[in-house]
Structure 1
Amino acid sequence: MKFFNRPNKPEDTDDEQLLKSYRDTRDLKLLGKLYERYMPLVYGVALKYLKDEDASQDAVMAIFEELTQKVHQHEVKQFRSWLYVLSRNHCLMQLRAGKKMETVGIDDFMEFTPVLHPDTEDKEQAMQALERCLEKLMPAQQQSVKLFYLDEKCYKEVADETGFSMNEVKSYIQNGKRNLKICLEKNSER
Structure 2
Amino acid sequence: MFLKLFRKPRASSGHSRKEPADYIAAYRATGDLAVLGELYEQHMDLVYAVCFNYLRDEDEAKDAVMNLFEQLVTDLRKHDVQQFGPWLHSVARNYCLMQLRKMQAHPKAALVTGTGADLDDEPIMQLSADDADKSELEEDLTTMEACLKTLPHEQQTCLTLFYLDHKTYTEVAELTGYDLKQVKSYLQNGRRNLKICMRK
TM-score normalised according to structure 1 size: 0.49
TM-score normalised according to structure 2 size: 0.47
Structure having the larger proportion of residues in helix:
1
